[in-house]
Amino acid sequence: MARKIELIIIHCSDSPNGRTLFTGTPGEHGFVTPVQEIDRWHAQRGFKRQPQWRAKQNPDLTSIGYHFVIYTRGAVATGRHVDEVGAHCQGYNAASIGICLIGCDKFTRAQWDSLRDWLCGLAKTLEQQKPNPPKRFNNPTPAEARAIFAQLGVRVLGHRQLNPDKTCPNFNVYTWLESGMQPPVEQIYLDPIEGEIA
């Protein structure tokens, strides 16, 4: 990663819990994936990616402001390139990475697991960019990841901590980190996932 990262900002899509964002009619324009759907929302809000970044990653996504999106089954999809300035938190985009969970205030176990694993993987990536990094084969544990972020001066936050007008991502990122990245039980989505096309 060439860009200096100071903040990792967690978002939610504020769409129904446990519902995959597939839209469109099969056979008409084909299927629309969640990142494509979010790309449409962000296009409507006037967000725009620069051509040189589209050429590097996800050329079909014209607008999406997030760097990553976590789907209901736990897949982590890419949006903007990690070195591309995002459009997800006004005033804080230059030195941040934005990741968005599909849902509102309950997320599947697969999503919580992916968020934890992604964050621990990112800690490793950032750590390994330091001069003379420690040898590390596996991902750091959640506690180790927090220590790495602290040492690097990287803060992990929810959107609402930077913008008091927002409730996003509708869970307390601070207590989640403190607990070793364990999901709050009342915020685990246990019902069947909706909106998938078989």
Name the one residue in this structure whose structure tokens are 């591309």.
Answer: 84
Q: What is the CA radius of gyration of the chain?
A: 17
List the one residue from 168, 173, 177, 181 that touches Zn ion (CB under 5 A).
Answer: 168
Q: From the CB of 113, what's the least distance to Zn ion, in Å?
A: 21
- Binding track, positions 104-143, relative to Zn ion; x by CB under 5 A: ----------------------------------------
For residue 160, state whether it binds Zn ion (rule: CB under 5 A): no
Return d(Cα 103, Cα 15) in angstroms, integer.
5
Complex with Zn ion: residue 100 or 154, whichever CB lies closer = 100
* Cβ distance to Zn ion smaller for residue 9 or 126: 9
Q: Which two tokens stand for residue 33?
A: 């994936």
Q: Collapse the DSSP code of 49 into the 3-class scheme (helix H, G, I; strand E, B; otherwise coil) and give the result.
A: coil
Residue whose CB is less far from Zn ion, 166 or 195: 166
**Closer by beta carbon to Zn ion, 122 or else 173:** 173
Please answer whether residues 111 and 22 qualify as being in contact, where contact means their C-beta atoms are separated by less than 8 angstroms.
Answer: no
Torsion of CA 41, 116, 114, 78, to 10 degrees: 40
- State yes or no: residue 159 binds Zn ion (CB under 5 A): yes
For binding to Zn ion (CB under 5 A), which residues are involved?
A: 11, 159, 168
